[in-house]
Amino acid sequence: MRRRGATGLALICTAIMLAATTPAGAVVKGSVSSFSRYTVRLVGNGYCSGVVIARRAVATALHCAQGMYVIADGHSFRVASISRSAVLDDGRHVSVSGDAAILRLASSLPLNIDAAPVGDGAGDIFTIAGYGTTDERRRGSFGSLHEAVLVPAEPHALVDPNRTGSIGASACFGDSGGPVMRAGMLVGVITRAAHPSPRIACGDLTRWAPITASGADEATAAAEGATVTEPHGPNHRRDARRIPKSEAASVSLFSAWFAPTVEARQSMRRKSAQR
């Protein structure tokens, strides 16, 4: 009897330990993703996701770019600079716009980390992936990579085609910068979420910013003239102001997690003054 009791206690302890160490998921109403070979974590000034596009380049959301390290293969990689363009390992040039940026790393990623295939893709089926939370009530969750299949709702905004209630599959907190794939090709990165309800952030629209690739000869001039900023440099704020109002009005999947919006801070100041 003692042996059985001890064995049972050991099993319970093991189960508790496994439950405690099991990482949280990501993407609301998503499933386990197969994009882990080129989707990475960003940590530092919060949590975000990113997608490898070259041995020394990671695309992510612009609002995630400052003060971050890239985590890949269990190691951290320092960001040397932040840019709107980069050269892929195959010689093509890529550029981003809107709430997107390219992190240029100080050292190369391990050889077992692949670069996502950048291209146009085809069709109206998109797949998003990220390391964020599966439930916005648990915004601190940051763990395993999940994905969801979405379709266009409006330009650069995706929605769950199988949504039956108030919450459908979408990106959420921590997924900013994760890949947006179409027909197996990387076409952009996740930027924001938007929901009709003022009390809900995730579960409706997933907004994204495009990544455009072109041949070396076609893009040389554009790449040379692209804005490049050092981390924490003055141009970051200037670039951030270029985000369209339609995107800025939706919920940031990163900054809204860690800091109140300008409107929220102003409201808090007014309430304090009234008291």
Longest dimension (CA), the chain: 79
Other beta carbons within 10 angstroms of residue 43's beta carbon come to 15
Is residue 267 over pLDDT 60? no
Q: Is 31 left (phi over 0), alpha (psi -120 to 50) or beta?
A: beta
Q: Considering only CA atoms, which of 177, 160, 161, 181 is closest in space to residue 169?
A: 160
* Residue 2 counted as domain residue: no
* Residue 24 counted as domain residue: no
* Residue 110 counted as domain residue: yes
Higher pLDDT, 109 or 28: 109
* Residue 214 counted as domain residue: yes
User: How does pLDDT run across 4-13, given as a tens digit for each residue?
Assistant: 444 333 333 3
Q: What CATH number has the domain bearing residue 178?
A: 2.40.10
Domain extent at residue 178 = 31-234+240-258
* Residue 20 counted as domain residue: no
Is residue 259 over pLDDT 50? no
The number of folded domains in the chain is 1
User: How does pLDDT run across 218-234, given as a tens digit for each residue?
Assistant: 444 444 444 444 454 43
Mean pLDDT over all residues of the chain? 76
* Residue 226 counted as domain residue: yes
User: How does pLDDT run across 128-143, given as a tens digit for each residue?
Assistant: 999 988 777 766 556 6
Share of the chain above pLDDT 90, in %: 51
